Amino acid sequence: MANERPSPIILASASPRRRQLLSEAGYQFEIVKPDVDESVFPTQGMTTREYAETLALAKARSVAPMYPDHWVIGADTVVDFAGEIIGKPVDADDAERITKKLFSAPHQVITSVAIIKLCDDIELVESDITTVYPKTMTAGQIAEHIKGGTWRDKAGAYAIQETGDAFVERIEGSLTNVMGLPMELLDSLLTKML
């Protein structure tokens, strides 16, 4: 089915997880790392979804002018904990703080997907939301998680594909959304464009 999708496709992301998901779905694509400094985007006055959509669009827009006749896909994943926007931890202390918070109660993972094709004047962005119900983590488990370093460059300081069995009781929604690219949503968006 994926080989019927529009091409050529550019994935505006350096994420190995997004690359893997797109590849496993059978898409042919190139990777171009977006030139976006996420730290300059303020979170104040935005919902978590609006923030994720702003970043996804910024990533796609940074690459699209170089490939005006390509489908350029940008994505951004953030975590919403009781309305608080939680992105990637800046260091081990921040990762520990985030982990203690997120694994105390259910939270939502939001991934926004932006698709741009400049030559056809197409620009759209949509989001998927998955609720994660965590297992209670002991102080020792949290310490091991931080020591292991898998929190680096991960929204919410964890990767469900690496630690899901240990940290997650269950999810409601898309697993690939929590991994960083909601494939059901992406397939649907690209299918509409055929």
Tens-of-pLDDT digits for all 194 residues of the chain? 444 445 699 999 988 999 999 999 999 999 999 999 877 887 788 899 999 999 999 999 999 999 999 999 999 999 899 888 887 888 888 888 888 888 888 999 999 999 999 999 999 999 999 999 988 888 888 888 888 877 777 776 666 655 555 778 899 999 999 889 999 999 999 888 76
| pLDDT tens, residue by residue, 135-163 | 888 888 888 888 887 777 777 666 665 55
Q: Which residues on adjacent β-strands are paired with residue 168?
A: 134
Give the residues across from 131 on adjacent strands. Answer: 108, 172
143, containing H or E segment: helix 139-148
Q: In the prediction, which pLDDT does 157 show?
A: 65
Domains of the chain with CATH codes = 2-192 (3.90.950.10)
pLDDT score, position 2: 46
pLDDT confidence of residue 161: 59
Torsion of CA 116, 119, 120, 124, to 10 degrees: 10
pLDDT for 7 equals 61
Q: Is the pTM of this model over 0.95?
A: no
- Of 42, 7, 8, 3, residue with least CA distance to 25: 3
Annotated catalytic residues are 76
pLDDT recorded at residue 139? 83
What b-and-e string marks burial along 99-134, b requiring 16 or more CB atoms within 10 Å of the CB?
bebbbeeebbbbbbbbbbbbeeeeeebbbbbbebeb
Q: For residue 78, which phi and psi values (nearest 5 degrees)?
A: -135, 165
Per-residue pLDDT, 162? 57
pLDDT for 147: 84
